[in-house]
């Protein structure tokens, strides 16, 4: 045994697993657990066992790195059954998160206890599989079918308090190991509950399953529905048959493209915030953040930084704008209170850390200042000229620009090494993507500070090189251009949107423009044209010039009835674009999606070639966390087979 250690507390054996970083259930862990049951059953001095983990968490599930390899015995279901069938009852002592196979092992134990901060869950669908060691078969025997439906189809973990009420755990304790031993000792004086596999489970009516399917369905994402099927099968067959069916489903999904895509993203999301190129480079500490501009973006950035515990100074041009800016930040916390995520008292605490001022001199102690003012080079340059004068020499100065060249903004700054682009996405307190855009002068520890800020704000930080639109907006432009090319070839606008929704996007390219407004991109194109750039006319230009800016003007690519956001195909648009459409291409939904995703991947390839992105997986993360690309498709680069990820 190298991962399991045992110590005796009287007649209770305390079995500790130590397999950092998250006690993932590798082949070795399965083997040692399997053997441990026999060892303790054979020990006459042992009457019960406590299973507890060292480090940050209880068993966090099967080792995802083994998914690409053929399964090796003992398989996890056998380990769970062996624990359940042990002569001496086991008690799972949970801290951190008991997830997937970790919770399945806990269900093989006769009892489960946890500390208040612990969570239990079955996140397998987030990896494109379903529970493979009784998650859809034992869980409903513990917590009933309704609770299990949400656990297995959403993959969302449940906090210990709720899990106790749901019957998933037996007690919430404060001193885990001490209380687990006491719990095991006390359990020996009473009649033991039935092993979970022997508890009853009754079928549900057809209507229940139809409704559950409707709620679980996400276009193109099969795992949640397969998990539901496995759960239903378990309610209509005996335990052994249900286990066989679940295992078959799990093994079938394990090799699927969807599982490969979600594993690709799982590891990409963990690698992105810690770029290897920054290893050993100490970021500058950030406790006080100045935000210049209290509009939507500035307030969102201020709210995100405040939520991460930083002190905020919001700078605006006059007292009225300061008041408005502070009110914008307050609204962010008000909505958190409304959603029950924040108490009124906490809200007060959040706002106590946000001050407003019109005087740049108040930024003298700021560690970081983020500019979020109007997207005009003169305005931004003036802001940084002032910041260069008033801020500490080691303060990091950042622009939130979406489209301007950060090098042009930094021009004239006495020390450009402390300047960086931090491109947040609106609403900045919600959107996870943060494009980090260093200039050639940006110091390595300033770049490291950008990534440290991304981690502190629980964002998905991705480094981007300097080009128009960096990574995300550049791909968006190509995506929209390809969609317009299909319209010119005679493919209906509504069919294109439907195809992308069928692929897994929440909205197609045209619906999304109508929601956001066509004029934003139009003004960018007009600005570039005014600077003498050759920007070909787009179909969107024609619509904007005709006053069709989207939902806000009652019509864009679609018509909208008064007070109704339902997009209706527009005869006016057909007339406006009639002389641009030449062809009657008939493409299926998947063919349309392939065309558009292919265009995104082609642009991604150019972005890689130009060194604008560090890796194809970074591009996938940008698309998933900034532009609604369905994560179960892995991102455009993965979908186009351009990543080295294990399939
Ligand atoms: N397998 C292998 N490595 C894992 C892992 C796992 N399950 N989970 C995390 N890691 C690595 C991760 O790559 C990172 O590595 C480090 O641990 C810290 O991760 C049969 C089939 C547990 C809540 O889906 O949700 O069981 O980058 O940064 O923020 O039914 O990790 O440091 O080299 O995320 O503290 C089900 C996935 C598997 C849990 C901890 N289980 N993990 O969060 O750390 S399927 C999961 C998490 C299954 C059975 C089925 C989180 C965490 P590195 P981290 P964290």
Which one from 32, 124, 435, 511 is the annotated catalytic residue?
Answer: 124
Residues 94 and 194 in one domain: yes
228 lies in some domain: no
d(CA 374, CA 316): 12
599 lies in some domain: yes
Catalytic residue check, 537: no
Residue from 19, 22, 30, 246 to probe ligand 1 pocket by mutation (most atoms less than 8 Å from CB): 22
Rg (CA), the chain: 28
229 lies in some domain: no
CATH number, domain containing residue 459 = 3.40.50.720
What does the pLDDT read at residue 647? 44
Residues 160 and 139 in one domain: yes
d(CA 180, CA 474): 55
**Cα(220) to centroid(ligand 1), Å:** 24
Residues 24 and 79 in one domain: yes
Nearest residue (CA) to ligand 1, atom 55: 22
Residues 401 and 484 in one domain: no
Catalytic residue check, 124: yes
The answer to whether the CB of 484 is under 6 A from ligand 1 is no
Residues 446 and 498 in one domain: no
242 lies in some domain: no
203 lies in some domain: no
- Which H, E and C letters describe 603-622, residue by residue? HHHHHHHCCCECCHHHHHHH
Give residue 498's domain range. Answer: 472-611
The answer to whether the CB of 65 is under 6 A from ligand 1 is yes
627 lies in some domain: no
Residues 437 and 538 in one domain: no
CATH number, domain containing residue 479 = 1.10.1040.50
Residues 567 and 506 in one domain: yes
What does the pLDDT read at residue 646? 44
Which one from 104, 435, 482, 511 is the annotated catalytic residue?
Answer: 104
Domain count, the chain: 3
Which atom of ligand 1 sits closest to the CA of residue 270? 27
Other Cβ atoms less than 10 A from the Cβ of 441: the count is 16
The answer to whether the CB of 270 is under 6 A from ligand 1 is yes
In the chain, count H helices and then E strands. Answer: 26, 19
Residues 18 and 98 in one domain: yes
Which atom of ligand 1 sits closest to the CA of residue 21? 17
d(CA 222, CA 129): 9
Give 462's contacts (C-beta < 8 A, 6+ positions apart): 272, 433, 434, 435, 436, 471, 613, 614, 618, 621, 622
CA distances to 234, 514, 538, 550 from 570, rounded to whole Å, are 49, 13, 18, 12
**Cα(341) to centroid(ligand 1), Å:** 25
Domain boundary among 428, 463, 498: 463
Residues 398 and 483 in one domain: no
259 lies in some domain: no
CATH number, domain containing residue 34 = 3.90.226.10
Domain boundary among 427, 446, 463: 463
Which atom of ligand 1 sits closest to the CA of residue 274? 27
Question: Over the chain (647 residues), what is each successive 10-residue block's mean pLDDT?
Answer: 93 98 97 97 97 97 89 94 97 98 98 98 97 98 96 96 97 97 95 94 95 93 97 97 97 94 95 94 98 96 97 97 97 94 94 97 98 92 96 97 94 94 96 98 98 97 96 97 97 97 96 94 90 93 96 95 93 95 89 97 97 97 97 96 68
Helices (H), ranges, 49-130: 76-84, 101-108
Nearest residue (CA) to ligand 1, atom 30: 131
Residue from 33, 57, 61, 120 to probe ligand 1 pocket by mutation (most atoms less than 8 Å from CB): 61
Domain boundary among 417, 442, 463: 463
559 lies in some domain: yes
33: its two tokens: 């657990």
Residues 485 and 445 in one domain: no
The answer to whether the CB of 339 is under 6 A from ligand 1 is no
217 burial class (0-12, 13-18, 19+ CB within 10 angstroms)?
A: middle
d(CA 134, CA 136): 5
Residues 166 and 297 in one domain: no
Residues 72 and 147 in one domain: yes
**Cα(270) to centroid(ligand 1), Å:** 9
């Amino acid at each position: 045994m190298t991962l399991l250690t045992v110590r005796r507390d009287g007649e209770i054996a305390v079995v500790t697993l130590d397999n950092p970083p998250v006690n993932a259930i590798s082949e070795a862990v399965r083997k040692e657990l399997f053997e441990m049951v026999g060892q303790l059953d054979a020990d006459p001095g042992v009457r019960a066992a406590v299973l507890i983990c060292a480090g940050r968490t209880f068993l966090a599930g099967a080792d995802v790195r083994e998914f690409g390899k053929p399964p090796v015995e003992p398989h996890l279901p056998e380990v769970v059954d062996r624990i359940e069938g042990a002569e001496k009852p086991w008690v799972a002592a949970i801290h951190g998160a008991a997830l997937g196979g970790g919770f399945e092992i806990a269900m093989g134990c006769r009892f489960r206890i946890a500390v208040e901060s612990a969570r239990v869950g079955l996140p397998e669908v987030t990896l494109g599989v379903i529970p493979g060691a009784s998650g859809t078969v034992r869980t409903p025997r513990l917590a009933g079918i309704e609770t299990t439906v949400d656990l297995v189809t959403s993959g969302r973990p449940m906090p210990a308090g709720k899990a106790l009420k749901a019957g998933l755990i037996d007690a919430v304790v404060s001193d885990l190991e001490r209380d687990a031993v006491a719990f095991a000792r006390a359990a020996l004086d009473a009649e033991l509950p039935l092993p979970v596999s022997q508890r009853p489970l009754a079928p549900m009516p057809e209507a229940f399953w139809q409704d559950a399917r409707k709620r679980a369905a996400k276009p193109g994402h099969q795992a949640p529905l397969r998990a539901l099927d496995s759960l239903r099968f378990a309610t209509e067959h005996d335990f052994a048959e249900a286990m066989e069916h679940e295992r078959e489903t799990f093994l079938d999904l394990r090799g699927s493209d969807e599982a490969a895509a979600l594993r690709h993203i799982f590891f990409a999301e963990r690698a992105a915030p810690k770029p290897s190129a920054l290893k050993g480079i100490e970021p500058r500490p950030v406790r006080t953040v100045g935000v210049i501009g209290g509009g939507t973006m500035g307030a969102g950035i201020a709210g995100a930084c405040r939520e991460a515990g930083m002190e905020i100074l919001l700078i605006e041009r006059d007292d009225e704008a300061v008041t408005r800016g502070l009110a914008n930040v307050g609204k962010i916390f008000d909505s958190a209170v409304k959603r029950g995520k924040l108490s009124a008292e906490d809200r007060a605490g959040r706002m106590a850390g946000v001050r407003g001022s019109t005087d740049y001199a108040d930024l003298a102690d700021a560690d970081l200042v983020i500019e979020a003012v109007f997207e005009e080079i003169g305005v931004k340059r003036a802001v940084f000229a002032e910041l260069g004068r008033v801020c500490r020499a080691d303060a990091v100065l950042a622009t939130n620009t979406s489209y301007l060249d950060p090098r042009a903004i930094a021009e004239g700054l006495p020390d450009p090494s402390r300047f960086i682009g931090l491109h947040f996405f609106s609403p900045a307190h919600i959107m996870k993507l943060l494009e980090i855009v260093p200039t050639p002068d940006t110091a390595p520890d300033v770049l490291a500070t950008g990534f440290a800020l991304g981690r502190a704000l629980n964002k998905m930080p991705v480094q981007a090189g300097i080009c128009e639109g960096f990574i995300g907006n550049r791909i968006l432009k190509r995506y929209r251009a390809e969609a317009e090319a299909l319209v010119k070839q005679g493919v209906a606008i509504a069919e294109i949107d439907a195809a992308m929704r069928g692929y897994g996007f929440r909205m197609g390219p045209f619906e999304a423009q109508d929601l956001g407004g066509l004029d934003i991109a139009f003004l960018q194109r007009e600005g570039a044209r005014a600077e003498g750039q050759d920007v070909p006319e787009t179909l969107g230009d024609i619509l904007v010039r005709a006053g069709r800016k989207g939902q806000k003007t009652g019509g864009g690519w679609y018509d909208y009835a008064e007070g109704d956001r339902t997009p209706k195909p527009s005869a006016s648009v057909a007339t406006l674009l009639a002389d641009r459409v030449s062809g009657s291409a008939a493409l299926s939904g998947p063919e349309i999606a392939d065309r558009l995703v292919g265009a995104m991947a082609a642009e991604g390839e150019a972005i890689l070639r130009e060194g604008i992105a560090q890796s194809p997986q970074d591009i996938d993360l940008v698309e998933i966390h900034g532009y609604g690309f369905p994560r179960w498709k892995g991102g455009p680069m993965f979908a186009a087979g351009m990543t080295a990820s294990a399939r």
